[in-house]
Amino acid sequence: MSETVKLNVQELYQLIKGKLIKAGLKEEYAQIIAEHLVSADASGVHSHGAVRVDYYVERIAKGGVNLDPNITFEKTGDSTGTVNGDNGLGHVVALNALNHAVDMAEETGIAAVGIKKMSHSGMMGYYARKAAEKGFVALSMCQSDPMAVPFGGTQNYFGTNPLAFAAPRKDNAPIVFDMATTVQAWGKILDARAKDQEIPETWAVDKNGQPTSDPHAVSGLLPIAGPKGYGLMMMVDILSGMLLGLPFGKHVSSMYSDLTKGRNLGQFYLLIDPQKFSNADVFKENIDTMVQELHAIPAADGFQQVYYPGEINQLFLNSAENEGIFIAKNVYEYLQSDTLHFNQYGGMDAFAEK
């Protein structure tokens, strides 16, 4: 197991923010990204936390992100709109779009907002949570690099295409469920490589489209639940890509191949005010009742308790303020150092290989 360092939330936030400011970001943008990355690490989603800073800084240094974008919003209907991120920092653009979606949903009870021309924006659950904290039921999703084979196929077409769902509760933090549409995220394969461990053959295939237990032989990820996950990743790609007139499927730009160019990625939000469909207070109370009833179900052998989907991440988040956050030692040393980036990502394929 790789060495880790324990930091309190504020320490990690300041380290990330400081590194991003050194990379050329204005403080406002550095704060937005640092808050997002700390939230990811605090939730136990380390693949989208501080480990991403080196990549973001290298892309910034090579001109692949607009540091002063002209982010514009076009309201296309009473409850619809699109944001053009002008190749800005994904977290900043995504938050801008979410604010527009919240404003519209407060007026009409529902909002659908698409985002065009943005860079990597982190974990989808972060944005769904923010909407739920304002009382909305929310869906957020985005397209990604073609890393997954279609069900029954041998060549990659769609990305891991994550989606998240969140709903408000009466007296508790919202329920938030965030998932990739592949059996495992790419970060799990990288972790197995680093530890020189085999992976289950249900996770991925090799270059011939055959199931593999060798993490170094992975050439494509498998969709969750076969054809069902395949359908979900197609849905996400259509809503966050094709619907917005953006590149789709295998045409989505690579995260690594050319860090000098913008990515033109797409993202999609759907916000719903429960008050427009029933009594909002009763709705929130019913969410709480559902959670209580799930907790009351006897646990199966090998399990400690029944949790609602996404609850483990919420428990991590709840404890982070007092218990601190563990991050990889090499990530901590990078954040503390004067090194801006290690020039290691450019020219790689979707699987972070040269």
* Amino acid symbol at 117: K
d(CA 43, CA 312): 8
Cα–Cα distance list, 4 to 1, 41, 328 (Å)? 9, 13, 4
Strand positions, DSSP E, the chain: 4-7, 72-75, 80-88, 110-118, 137-142, 163-167, 175-179, 204-205, 220-221, 265-272, 325-328
The question of whether 100 is a catalytic residue gets the answer no
Handedness of CA 14, 131, 45, 253 (dihedral sign): negative
Q: Name the token pair of 207.
A: 């270059």
Q: Please tell me which residue in 120, 216, 251, 341 is annotated as part of the active site.
A: 120
Which DSSP symbol is given to 277? T
The answer to whether residues 115 and 93 touch, using CB atoms and an 8 Å cutoff, is yes
> In angstroms, rounded to a whole number, what is the distance separating the alpha carbons of residues 124 and 137?
14
The letter for the amino acid at 257 is S
Look-up: residue for tokens 């989606």?
A: 163
CA neighbours closer than 13 Å in the CB half-sphere of residue 344: 10
Cα separation, 233 vs 231, in Å, equals 6
Q: At 61, is the secondary structure helix, strand, or coil?
A: helix
- Report which of 95, 94, 82, 100 is spatially closest to residue 119, judged by C-alpha positions: 94
- Cβ-in-10-Å burial (0-12, 13-18, 19+) of 181 comes to buried
Q: Which amino acids are annotated catalytic?
A: 120
